[in-house]
Amino acid sequence: MDSQVSKEDAVENLFRGVERAHRAEDVDAYLSFFDPDSVWVTGRGVCYRGRDALGGYLRGAIPGGHRSTPNGPACWPGRTVRTVE
């Protein structure tokens, strides 16, 4: 049996890691999956360029992003949507 991970398994493992970080509301773990110069466009068309800008957005959007802030957002759907180009 080949011990090398197939490309499909590697992609699935990547998505599982992203989803695990998302469900745990762990912004730092979630950001670790993005390149420093990544571009993120929200569903409302707002564009964030770079991991730092994305982190600022996510810390405000994900309740666990401000674990030390009691008045953070009250709702996070807890699901991911995967679009790969």
Taking residues 68-85, report their average pLDDT.
47
In a domain, 77, yes or no: no
CB < 8 Å & 24+ apart, contacts of 17-23? 18/80, 19/80, 22/78, 22/79, 22/80, 23/78
Q: What's the pTM?
A: 0.64
Q: Is residue 84 included in any domain, yes or no?
A: no
In a domain, 31, yes or no: yes
5-50 pLDDT, tens digit per residue, is 788 889 899 999 988 998 888 999 999 999 999 999 988 899 999 9
The answer to whether residue 39 is domain-embedded is yes
In a domain, 75, yes or no: no
Residue 12 lies in a domain: yes
Which residues form the domain of 16? 7-66
Q: How many structural domains does the chain have?
A: 1
